[in-house]
Amino acid sequence: MTEPTLYVVATPIGNLRDMVPRAVEVLQTVDVIAAEDTRHSARLLEHFQVTTRLLAYHDHSDEQQVEYLAGLLQSGQSLALISDAGTPLVSDPGYRLVNRVRQLGIRVVPIPGACALIAALSASGLPSDRFAFEGFLPAKSGQRCNRLQPLAAEERTLIFYEAPHRIAASLADMAAVFGAGREAVLARELTKTFETIAGGSLVELQQFVEADANQRKGEMVVIVRGKVRAAERTLDAEAERVMSILLRQLSVKQASELGAEITGLKKKALYQWALEQRQ
């Protein structure tokens, strides 16, 4: 008999072809699948010809539900945990169950796959060596700004999930707290038909979503460059003078491109200096 196992299975974030073969195999062979929304998951499972018994699980499920699922594992059954999309536990249910199951000494195995924050970061062009995932921000502006405030000095790249009806207001709050010129990327509808990955300063992105209602639709991730360290922004006096003039009329990106042509300095160094001026 194989050891009872809880499999934490990632599912696609929009494109069904992103389902990994091992995930299908596991879902077909476990005894029970615990899903965030059984009706939603039924469609996915039907597509992959998975007929395994489905049970509902949320992190606000009562203690009894967690104990019931843990009991199935203790009785020798294997379970798979899935969420509506992407990797379970990442802004999705699963933490309480995985925590309990590990406490009981039962094996937990991840089946990796899609995750919106990683997909967005990998295509953002922003530093990916150190990053902080902040999940969803509060819905109200005051609370949102309170959450953003301590992050203003964070040097790691910041990643947020955001709802479409709040994107413009959130970008405006980020611009107010981090500085309008802070570089950011909006990754929308990843892996789907209207996938859009737009970069610019926070204020440019805010204007971009305000000008086009389509950019305020669907699912989205916001990635914000961390605060640029002082050591990275040393320019000589002449370069600073040129850049200051350019920045009066141009965006950070345009000013650094033109500045690099004029001064012969590296575009990246000019870009970072320019960002710091706008913060």
- Interaction site with ligand SAM (CB under 6 A): 13-14, 83, 85-87, 90-92, 115-117, 161-163, 187-192, 219-221
The two structure tokens encoding residue 116: 């919106």
Question: Would you give the DSSP letter of residue 237?
Answer: H
Quote the least distance from Cβ 236 to ligand SAM, whole Å: 42
Q: List strands edge to edge, sheet with 32-35.
A: 53-56, 32-35, 79-82, 5-9, 107-111
Longest Cα–Cα distance in the chain: 74
Quote the least distance from Cβ 116 to ligand SAM, whole Å: 3
Nearer to ligand SAM among residue 147 and residue 267 (C-beta) = 147
Quote the least distance from Cβ 93 to ligand SAM, whole Å: 9
Nearer to ligand SAM among residue 109 and residue 163 (C-beta) = 163
Question: Which distant-in-sequence residues (6+ apart) come within 8 Å of 212 by Cβ?
Answer: none
With CB atoms as reference, the residue minimizing the distance to ligand SAM is 86
Quote the least distance from Cβ 133 to ligand SAM, whole Å: 10
Nearer to ligand SAM among residue 173 and residue 189 (C-beta) = 189
Question: Which distant-in-sequence residues (6+ apart) come within 8 Å of 188 by Cβ?
Answer: 194, 195, 196, 197, 198, 215, 217, 218, 219, 220, 221
Quote the least distance from Cβ 235 to ligand SAM, whole Å: 36
Nearer to ligand SAM among residue 161 and residue 273 (C-beta) = 161
Question: Are 212 and 34 within 8 A, CB to CB?
Answer: no
Helix, strand, coil abundance in the chain, percent, nearest 5: 50, 20, 35
Nearer to ligand SAM among residue 139 and residue 163 (C-beta) = 163
